[in-house]
Amino acid sequence: MNSFTYRYPVTVYFGEKAAEKNLPAELSKVGKNVMLAYGGGSVKRNGIYDELMGLLTAAGKNVTEFSGIMSNPTYAKVQEGAGIARENEIDFILAVDGGSVIDCCKVVSAQAKTDVDLWEMETVKHENPTEFIPMGAVVTAFGTGAEMNNGAVITNEEKKVKGPLWGAFYDFAILDPAYTMTMPMSQVISGAFDALSHCMETYMGTPCESNLSDEINEACQRSIIRNLRVTLKNPQDIKARSELVWAAAMGENGILKIGKVTDFQAHMLEHQLGAYTNCNHGQGLAVIHPVLYRHMLPEAAPQFARLAVNVWGVDPDGKTEGDPANAFIDALTSFIGEVSLPTTFAEMGIPADTDYKAIADSTILTGGCCKKFTKDELLAVLHECR
């Protein structure tokens, strides 16, 4: 294990009626002017908006809405939110939806407190913001685990970069699995695959040899695979949904990363694919992962072999290491087909004339894994994904 410091600042309220039970006490600690942030309107259709608005009104808050936050949130949308927050002297932000709204508000909370351009501050000067509007998150779509960390993935349309900005941690996160029951099944599947991807990307970092973080990680992967299968058979199974919601949060709350340097090369590539195509995050990962992993096979065979046995139930008896390593990629590929995720960019509707060279060239190369990719290899991966 590498040396580590672990501190976790987010209070998690998990379970049935978590908002009703805990939001009033949390709201009593914050100022009067509250920004209620959400996406394209699912919260209005499924009744969550009315429920939260009732709790905010009962707490005597002045509510300002910040709505229309899109998937793959843009830096322009962050600026809009920061403007609304400043104009209305917002004391507290309640972000309600999936990863996109939750990420967008992390940066809004910082940008509202400074006139310095945050993109410039973080990506050019390599400084991080230090002042934030306090926030709470209500998760209505699981997958990213964004509610449990302070990284935000924001698309800068002018620069054609989808990249990380560091914002605030949420003071609390409300995870009521019942709130996720109206998610479209395609989002359930892509969210679950995103969570599985976070586990794999963490697992593929260093140290490569077996360690406690990876053993917990294996359990999370098994849970996601098993509970997605249950959910596909019975979408109303709240127990399976609860497991998925918590497994997704575990993927990004730092516990699996303890003592590790993570990989996240698939994510870096997918994020740039998103910058150029605005594609769905989990679906992009589903196409990229098996292809990228075939390229990693020679270097990553010991980890792949462990995943084959410990996650996918491959019997190692009488096999050389290369056999289960291959079996891992086969099992992952077959699972992607089983749950009806796309296997090519064409299936995702990504145009054939997409500038894959520009995507590969603008992708961050990560240093955490047993294999260091070059931009040319990433271009080869993208071409194979077409």
Which residues make up the interface to Zn ion (CB under 5 A)?
Answer: 194
Q: Which two tokens stand for residue 250?
A: 């575990």
Q: Which two tokens stand for residue 281?
A: 């995050």
Is residue 252 a contact point for ligand NZQ (CB under 6 A)?
yes
Which residue lies nearer to ligand NZQ by CB, 176 or 310? 176
Whether the Cβ atoms of residue 255 and residue 213 lie closer than 8 Å to each other = yes
Which residue lies nearer to Zn ion by CB, 122 or 270? 270
The residue within the footprint of ligand NZQ, chosen from 27, 112, 146, 268 (CB under 6 A), is 146
Q: Which does 143 bind (CB under 5 to 8 A by kind): Zn ion, ligand NZQ, none?
A: ligand NZQ
Q: Which does 42 bind (CB under 5 to 8 A by kind): ligand NZQ, Zn ion, none?
A: ligand NZQ
Whether the Cβ atoms of residue 154 and residue 146 lie closer than 8 Å to each other = no
Q: Which two tokens stand for residue 275?
A: 């910058």
Is residue 251 a contact point for ligand NZQ (CB under 6 A)?
no
The residue within the footprint of ligand NZQ, chosen from 151, 259, 302, 316 (CB under 6 A), is 151
Which residue lies nearer to Zn ion by CB, 142 or 345? 142
The nearest distance, CB 208 to Zn ion, in angstroms, is 22
Is residue 153 a contact point for ligand NZQ (CB under 6 A)?
yes
With tokens 């590498």, the residue in question is: 2
The residue within the footprint of ligand NZQ, chosen from 134, 191, 324, 342 (CB under 6 A), is 191
Q: Which does 176 bind (CB under 5 to 8 A by kind): ligand NZQ, Zn ion, none?
A: none
Which residue lies nearer to ligand NZQ by CB, 140 or 277? 140
The nearest distance, CB 193 to Zn ion, in angstroms, is 9
Is residue 122 a contact point for ligand NZQ (CB under 6 A)?
no
Q: Where are the beta strands (DSSP E) in 100-160?
A: 135-139, 151-156
Whether the Cβ atoms of residue 102 and residue 66 lie closer than 8 Å to each other = no
Is residue 81 a contact point for ligand NZQ (CB under 6 A)?
no
Q: Which stretch binds ligand NZQ (CB under 6 A): 21-29, 34-42, 82-90, 222-230?
A: 34-42
Q: Which stretch binds ligand NZQ (CB under 6 A): 121-129, 146-154, 293-301, 346-354?
A: 146-154
- Residue of 25, 32, 88 lying closest to 60 (CA atoms): 32
Q: What is the dihedral of CA 370, 148, 339, 43, to 10 degrees?
A: -150
CA separation, residue 96 to residues 39, 137, 180, 331, 375 (Å): 8, 6, 11, 35, 37
Residue 245: partners with Cβ closer than 8 Å, 6 or more residues away: 14, 139, 142, 175, 177, 180
CA separation, residue 106 to residues 13, 170, 196 (Å): 19, 8, 23
Q: CA-CA distance, 161 to 153, in Å (whole number)? A: 10
The residue within the footprint of ligand NZQ, chosen from 49, 170, 179, 293 (CB under 6 A), is 179
The size of the interface with ligand NZQ (CB under 6 A), counted in residues, is 36
Is residue 205 a contact point for ligand NZQ (CB under 6 A)?
no
- Residue of 3, 13, 2, 261 lying closest to 148 (CA atoms): 13
Residue 6's φ and ψ, nearest 5 degrees, are -125, 125
Is residue 144 a contact point for ligand NZQ (CB under 6 A)?
yes
Q: CA-CA distance, 151 to 166, in Å (whole number)? A: 5
Q: Helix or strand or coil: residue 172?
A: strand
- State the residues that interact with ligand NZQ by CB under 6 A: 39-43, 46, 71-72, 97-101, 103, 140-141, 143-146, 149, 151-153, 179-180, 182-184, 187, 191, 194, 252, 267, 281-282
